[in-house]
Amino acid sequence: MIEARRLHILRAVADHRTVTAAAAALYLTPSAVSQQLTALEQETGHRLVERGAKGVRLTPAGEILLNHTHAVLAQLERAEAELAAYGSGEAGTVTVAAFATGIAQVVAPAVARLVAAAPGIRIRVQDAEGDASLPMVLDRQVDVAVAVEYRGAPPADDPRLTHVPLYAEPFDAVVPVGHRLADAPEVPLAELAKDPWIGPYPGNPCHDVVVLACESAGFEPRLEHSSDDFRAVVALASADVGVALVPRSALRGMDLSGVVVRPVDGVAPTRRVFAAVRRGAEEHPLIRPVLQALGEAAQA
């Protein structure tokens, strides 16, 4: 009989592509992961993984088992949810990973709502970019991720996750007060093709939004300054060292005295924010109220 914990290890190896990375995500040693994979191969009677110079890949038999693994683990999540509901599930801890402005925009207001609506639920919040929070959910390091759609992100129909859309917001152009386009009511991105740019590091979902928006306008941005902190991005623009695109909510409460903020001419680049949980966990009596509170905070 196949052990479910070994299926979880198989999926982690498929997600992370190396035994070492999967072991780190699961808080196991690489040798323990290798032993469990070997045991799983013995249980199934098939070779499931192949090791190479670039890491680990699943064999055709491994891919077949992985497809069933998604369904099995989702069903186990549903079983846990029903058992928790049976035992009332009125008290417990839910861990939420979210990026900084997502925490300010929806997570903190959701926590405030839950204090009154579900006082037995304790929320633990971790600051994590969207590209980090989704793997944290899949690796069971956190229960809920508030993330941003980005190039390479698991799609909405990913069999491992349930997505709950929260909100979408445009990016605005941020230019120094003395910039040639400072008086324009809207900023055409193509007019910034020769400017130096300030933006997030590669890997940050907002980096992808900026680069894709510029590529759609016909150029590749010359990113001379990098920071994942939008306060630092705006401060650098105030110092007249470049231009930037910044999500509108990230600009709230900032000192904007040294910059001009303008809408983007035409179709504005947009970041779409969603909550994600492991598929099957959305009905857990502790997680369901958290997702509801996040949705209500986003609508407000």
Per-residue pLDDT band at 85 (split at 50, 70, 90): low
Least-confidence region, from 56-70, 75-89, 150-164, 178-192 = 75-89
Residues in the chain: 300
Per-residue pLDDT band at 167 (split at 50, 70, 90): very high
Give the pLDDT confidence of 255-287 residue by residue, as tens digits: 999 999 999 998 889 989 999 999 999 989 899
CA separation, residue 82 to residues 89, 117, 141, 163, 280 (Å)? 9, 21, 21, 20, 10
Is the distance from CB of 124 to CB of 96 less than 8 angstroms? Answer: yes
As a whole number of angstroms, the distance between CA 32 and CA 18 comes to 13
